[in-house]
Amino acid sequence: MTTAIDIDGVRMRYGATEVLYDVTFGVSAGETVALLGPNGAGKTTTIEILEGFRQRHAGRVEVLGTDPARGGDAWRARVGIVLQSWRDHAKWRVRELLGHLAGYYPRPWPVDRLLTAVGLTEQAGQKIRTLSGGQRRRLDVAIGVVGRPDVLFLDEPTAGFDPVARHEFHDLLAGLETTVLLTTHDLAEAERLADRIVILDRGRVVADGTPAELAKEIVGADEVRWRRGDQRFTRSTPDSTAFVRELFATHGTEVAELEVHRASLEQTYLALVQQAEVAR
Rounded to an integer, what distance in angstroms lies between the CA atom of residue 11 and that of residue 24? 10
For ligand ATP, give the closer residue by CB, 170 or 202.
202
Q: Is 19 in the site for ligand ATP (CB under 6 A)?
A: yes
Among 42, 80, 149, 157, binds ligand ATP (CB under 6 A): 42
Q: How far is the CB of 12 from ligand ATP (least distance, A)?
A: 9
For ligand ATP, give the closer residue by CB, 42 or 134.
42
Q: How far is the CB of 17 from ligand ATP (least distance, A)?
A: 6
Are 42 and 31 contacting, i.e. CB atoms less than 8 angstroms apart?
no
Q: How far is the CB of 6 from ligand ATP (least distance, A)?
A: 19
Q: How far is the CB of 19 from ligand ATP (least distance, A)?
A: 4
Q: How far is the CB of 78 from ligand ATP (least distance, A)?
A: 24
Which residues, in sequence order, are CB contacts of 143 under 8 Å at separation 6+? 82, 83, 86, 97, 98, 101
- SS3 of residue 157 by DSSP: coil
Helix (H) or strand (E) holding 213: helix 211-214
Q: Which stretch binds ligand ATP (CB under 6 A): 3-11, 32-40, 191-199, 260-268?
A: 32-40
Q: Which stretch binds ligand ATP (CB under 6 A): 35-43, 77-85, 205-213, 251-259?
A: 35-43
Among 34, 41, 50, 193, binds ligand ATP (CB under 6 A): 41
Give the strand order in the sheet containing 32-36: 58-63, 3-14, 17-28, 204-209, 196-201, 32-36, 179-183, 151-155, 79-82
Beta bridge partners of 153: 81, 181
Q: Which stretch binds ligand ATP (CB under 6 A): 24-32, 37-45, 58-66, 78-86?
A: 37-45
Among 8, 14, 100, 220, binds ligand ATP (CB under 6 A): 14
Q: How far is the CB of 31 from ligand ATP (least distance, A)?
A: 21
| Spatial CA neighbour of 98 closest among 73, 124, 130 | 124
Give the strand order in the sheet containing 222-228: 231-237, 222-228, 255-261
Q: Is 37 in the site for ligand ATP (CB under 6 A)?
A: yes
Q: Is 39 in the site for ligand ATP (CB under 6 A)?
A: yes
Angle at 193 between CA 188 and CA 197, to 5 degrees: 80
Q: Is 166 in the site for ligand ATP (CB under 6 A)?
A: no
Which residues, in sequence order, are CB contacts of 30 under 8 Å at separation 6+? 1, 4, 177, 178, 179
Q: Which amino acid is at 204?
A: R
Q: Is 36 in the site for ligand ATP (CB under 6 A)?
A: no
Q: What does the binding site for ligand ATP look like in residue numbers (CB under 6 A)?
A: 14, 19, 37, 39-45
